[in-house]
Amino acid sequence: MFRKKNTLLIGCLLSATFYLLSCDNKPKQENKRKTIDYIKQIPGINDSIPVEVADKGEVLIAYSDCYTCHKEDQRSVGPAFRDIAKRYPVNKVYIEMLAHKVIIGGRGSWGSAVMDPHPELSFEDAKTMVTYILSLKK
């Protein structure tokens, strides 16, 4: 009788031990990724953009290869056009700087993506295209 009670007691203790060890008392961790703002807005005064210039830039972009790597509202290979507009002020200095970047290509401003050069574009067309992109600023 002593052996049956002893065996029963050991069985209960082992069951209780396995039960306690198998319980996960750790707090649940949520797998929420922190979003990192990659836009790094540059402060500056925004000039007005004539509608006809923005419209011409939209047409030039439609006939170019820009949409291969860029989308208007979402990040693709390169940044979204609206994100570019959000980062840069609309003024002559930034329009010319970005037009040069379109023509000679670039890297590093938006992470590891590389923008191919577009040497066939005239500087004026590149400025018009950049003006359209910056016109998307909300």
Q: Binding site for heme c: which residues?
A: 66, 70, 115
Q: From the CA atom positions of the chain, what is the Rg in Å?
A: 30
List the binding residues.
Answer: 66, 70, 115
Give strand ranges (E) for 6-123: 106-108, 111-115
Residue 37 has φ and ψ, to the nearest 5°, of -75, 110
Task: In the chain, count H helices and then E strands.
Answer: 5, 2
d(CA 58, CA 82): 13
